[in-house]
Structure 1
Amino acid sequence: MTTAQQRLHHALDALGRTARPGPAVDGCGHCYTPRELAALSGPPDLVPDRLLHSVAMKSPGHWVDFPALYRRLAPRLLRQLTTGTLAVDGPLVAARLVAADWTSWHRAELVRDVLDAWWCATLADPAANAADVLETVSVATGTATPWLRAWSETRTPTAERHLTRAVGDWLYYDRLPDLRLGFHRELPVGPEIAAWIAALPPHLLDEEQRSWLDLVYDRT
């Protein structure tokens, strides 16, 4: 296990220690049976994966107290999300975290610790999809800036390979300057990412990529 993976493991454990049963869950009776609502009211670790994934996707309007329910399930959801075992798109989970106002939760800093550690682990993992993780953490926090800064400051071959691949995708598939992140494309980041790309050290972009950037923004 790498240092970055250990950091993520510790962050997930710290968040997991906050998981507790809560008040009875009241939700959509058409979507969930009384038995399922009872399971959601009990220990989060005992909620079946199928039910957990269903709740992760459902819109807030399905629940009487959506923030409380999502806070209760967040430790398991984030553990599965960051370890690749959650059958739900990361950007959708991020949107639900925002809808649950996660930054106002008690010990919200533990959620941020998980996101920070996940990003570091992603940049150190050759098999990771850094652009996908960037989308999730950016939507969850409402900005791409700190994640982009950490990326450009991580001077490792793996992080730089991730960066080169993502920049190529953004430039060559007409995603700039109108790039928007999120399950609902709710976070506009095109100008922000373009400015970040333009400020990258020269060795991280090839001549063709810089030409594309000049063309997109008419910088010639």
Structure 2
Amino acid sequence: MSERIRPAHDAATWGPALDEAVNVLGRGELVVLPTDTVYGIGADAFAPTAVQALLDAKGRGRQMPPPVLIGDARTLDGLATDVPEAARALAEAFWPGGLTIIVQAQPSLAWDLGETRGTVALRMPDHPTALALLRRTGPLAVSSANRTGSEAAVTAAGAYEQLGDAVALYLDAGDAPGQVASTIVDATGATLRVVRAGAITLEQLRAVAPVEGAAPPPDEGAAG
């Protein structure tokens, strides 16, 4: 096992690994972390060079900006503007969980996630390790831990096989419990619309708010 991989499955013992992750992210380097869907590769969302390093590690262009993971649902209003009530209802029902919501980004935010056209994809993951880290770091740009075109990693070791030394630290919490990428709902238009099917079904979404139908899931997953 690589020395870059640190155990982070138990709150009683993960302190040193999370301390190291906070330091790594603060230096503008990358961390692989577990989520409730798949493993993700994370960077400080407010450090443009770190976000670019994330895209480079994946072999991904700026036209595919990473989602942003948050540790508290109340952060939604700090990062987004003009959030529809239906989108708020979905967040209340499915956060933390496997739902990513695309919303209009606050125009004052000093970040550069890529070609977002003024939007941001937000999610609050339902994983204790991820939430413990996010509550210390604040929002993180996080995409699935894999090279573009390859399967999203569901273990830290699997992520290391694909990303290697491009990532400074890998937090290992065992197999990703969900192993299915999040459902993505676009809430920037007149109606809510599923743009990627995933962990939350259309039927589950429609039980909470009006949502237009799902597109087939693409090969490239997001941990967001």
When the two structures are superposed, what TM-score results if normalisation uses the length of structure 1?
0.27
Question: Greater helix percent: which structure?
Answer: 1
The answer to which structure has the higher strand fraction is 2
TM-score by length of 2: 0.26
